[in-house]
Amino acid sequence: MKKILIIDEIQASRLALKNSFGSDYIVIEAENGMEALQKVETDNPDIIILDMERYENDGPEICKLLKVNNKSKYKRLIQLYNVVQEKEIVNGLHAGADDYMTKPVNVNELLVRVETHLRTKDYYVELDKKDLLILLELTELISVTRNPKKILEIIVEKIIEAIDVSRCSIININDQGEMVVLASTDLEPGQEIKLDLKNYPEIEAALITQRAVVVQDIKNNPIMAPVKDKIKGLSDKAIFIVPIIKKNNVIGTFFMRASSPLKGGITERIFKLCQVVANLSGNALENAVLFESMQTSRNLLEELSLRDSLTKLYNHQYYHTRFEEEFSRAQRYKQDLSCVFIDIDEFKSVNDRFGHITGDIVLGQIGRLIKQVLRKSDMAARYGGEEFAVLLPNTGSEGAHEFAGRLLSLVRELEIPQLKGEHITISIGISTYSTGNVGTYEELLRGADVAMYQAKELGKDRICHATIRDQPNLFKEGA
């Protein structure tokens, strides 16, 4: 059984990460660099996960210590960061880290990353010379291709060359939860088609689990039961769905789907080759998307460091910076300033029942609706997990309530196919600065946060206002 060493000074964080791995791995914990070196000597872990945020400037030094140690210098090392921090990530990679992820960590993506890093040469024994040549050619082609769509077309073309499949497609689940085929062996270059997820239960299974799904017998596999009548005439015997794993949600949610007419179904060789291609594709797509974006924005990397990668709203660090600035401006010019806190109701249940990708779609959709009701002067951020925060400059409590009411209605009407008819609701807390009723922006922020929790306690799907001026712990409820 493979061993994983987690380095994090906070015990609760180590435990949460440890629980992610279940019983498939032996997980070893260390609180600091020196303890980590001791664990390396006594337990000889196969892979190391280091939370760089806990150690500030010491993170790269811990990387260096591990990479000069004889027992750990060849071990794979994954860094964890709160947000995309270009300079810190580069410093960590220069210090010897092999990979990075941002928090909150997507458990399924982490497991896939770990599995990929732990693969040994034995994993590739099933691949033949032709496969290796195609992988080499694919790597060279996609490494110099800057058009994301072209990369997808190259992938399906090479898969068809390499293995006996009747069709290969790349499918994207977009921000609206729609399933779109972006490249396929039976599509013209540049053509796209939308699919109904209800007709593809195998893709839905991969969407929920974020893991590869193999259906060796299309006609008799229980996964395909909902569409049994629709697949009677198919000549294909087997289907393989593999997620294209990405970093930081930059490229979205992609799946590679291949169907085979062979009686033997999806062999170990096909499975492994498609997994390797998916990993190569994820990195190439991310690089291509970033390159394409940089053509229109010189400050892309700086902007990325300020934004949440999933919702494209600002992150909570930048929110605090802007909040302090806006609060000072409101004080100086004697203007109102409202702070709105938003929390998705029962979000853990969504993740537990429908999977984390569906949870990501919900977060993306809420972010989209928030942007839809913002004015140019307003500012919104993903504050953490399923919480969002909005700043409304020169806006009193009535204007803030109007904003919150519009958002509440839009969310109630939101339909996400992956939720199978269920609807999302939100709880909203509002606090307003007016004529010096609070002395700091932190007080205003705290008022909105507490009001939001009051909305939760009163039954969710509603708005509460903090009445800060007279009694900070009194609230008035809105519809």
Give the whole-angstrom CA distance, residue 66 versus residue 71: 8
In sequence order, the β-bridge partners of residue 214 are 240
At 473 the pLDDT is 40
Q: What is the pLDDT of residue 291?
A: 59
* pLDDT score recorded for residue 319: 92
* Cβ contacts of 188 within 8 Å, gap of 6 or more: none
10 Å CB burial of residue 428 (0-12, 13-18, 19+) is: buried
Q: CA-CA distance, 212 to 115, in Å (whole number)? A: 13
Q: What are 430's strand-pairing partners?
A: 340, 465
Q: What is the pLDDT along the chain (479 residues), one digit of tens a residue?
A: 889 999 988 888 888 888 888 777 899 999 988 898 999 999 999 899 988 877 666 777 888 888 888 888 778 888 887 765 556 666 667 777 777 777 777 777 788 778 777 776 566 666 777 777 777 777 777 766 767 778 888 888 888 887 777 888 888 877 677 888 888 888 887 788 888 888 899 988 888 877 888 898 888 899 999 998 888 878 888 888 888 766 444 455 677 888 888 777 788 888 888 878 877 777 666 666 655 555 544 455 555 667 887 888 998 888 998 999 999 999 988 999 999 999 999 999 999 999 888 898 999 999 999 999 999 899 999 998 899 999 999 999 999 999 999 999 999 999 998 898 999 999 999 999 998 899 999 999 999 999 999 999 999 999 999 976 433 443 455 54
∠ Cα 135 136 142 (to 5°)? 85
Measured CA to CA, the distance from residue 114 to residue 78 in angstroms comes to 9
Q: Check residue 457 and give its pLDDT.
A: 94
Task: Spell out the domains of the chain, with CATH numbers in brackets.
Answer: 3-118 (3.40.50.2300), 122-294 (3.30.450.40), 307-478 (3.30.70.270)
d(CA 279, CA 285): 10
CA–CA gap between residue 385 and residue 387 (Å, rounded): 6
Considering only CA atoms, which of 236, 206, 204, 203 is closest in space to residue 219?
236
Q: Contact 227/234 with Cβ under 8 angstroms?
A: no
Question: Is the bond preceding residue 104 a cis peptide, omega within 30 degrees?
Answer: yes
pLDDT at 250: 42
Q: Which two tokens stand for residue 442?
A: 């932190």
Whole-angstrom distance, CA of residue 462 vs CA of residue 162: 55
Q: What is the pLDDT of residue 219?
A: 87
Residue 231 and residue 18: Cα distance in Å, rounded?
A: 42
Q: Say how many residues make up the chain.
A: 479
